Amino acid sequence: MPNILLPSLSQARRESFAARGIYLVESITAPEFEQVIADYLNRHNVLHLATCRNNEVRSTTLEYFNNGLTVYIVSEGGGKLANLKANPQVSYTIADPYSPEKDFFGASGLQVWGRGTVFRKNDAPEMFASINRYARTADSLEQQDLKAKAAAVNFYVITIAPDKIIYLNYRQGYRKVKWER
């Protein structure tokens, strides 16, 4: 069962947040928090994936789709795949636009650490079909007359299962809440 860690705050700090309309979550179950994170992932489609090989870190901006907390990335290739082959440990971030001059406490985003696995679409067509049903691009591909072209490409599929998540969204009451498998 995953663990949830809610950072503790002094009463004075809690009152300071409350004076600014911020009421931090004081208790949440793992399934409730997982739903919050899945909802956040569902509202976004771009992440920044960090991979590493030979002590050289690479950060790549990628489109993704998800099923719950598991994230999928479809890729034609690149250095991230060589990095994943050498070191499957990854991290990614997703953040909302932030304007501190308008709302200093309006920051929200998450950081995820996990393990990435890779397979080729044509090597595991049943697995690809099972995962692809969560993709959000089917309508766009069809509208742009790209469905047949996309189907012909033997894409790589990166699957990321999370081991640790830290979420920040003051306005919803989450201050660096940590989920760990």
From residue 6, give the alpha-carbon distance in Å to each of 44, 64, 124: 24, 28, 40
Domain ranges of the chain: 3-180
**Global pTM value:** 0.93
Closest to 94 (Cα-Cα) out of 178, 5, 166, 174? 166
CATH of 3-180, picked from 3.40.50.720, 2.30.110.10, 3.30.360.10, 3.50.50.60, is 2.30.110.10
Per-residue pLDDT of the chain (181 residues; tens, 9 = 90+): 899 999 999 999 999 999 999 999 999 999 999 999 999 999 999 999 999 999 999 999 999 999 999 999 999 999 999 999 999 999 999 999 999 999 999 999 999 999 999 999 999 999 999 998 899 887 788 889 888 888 888 999 999 999 999 999 999 999 999 999 9
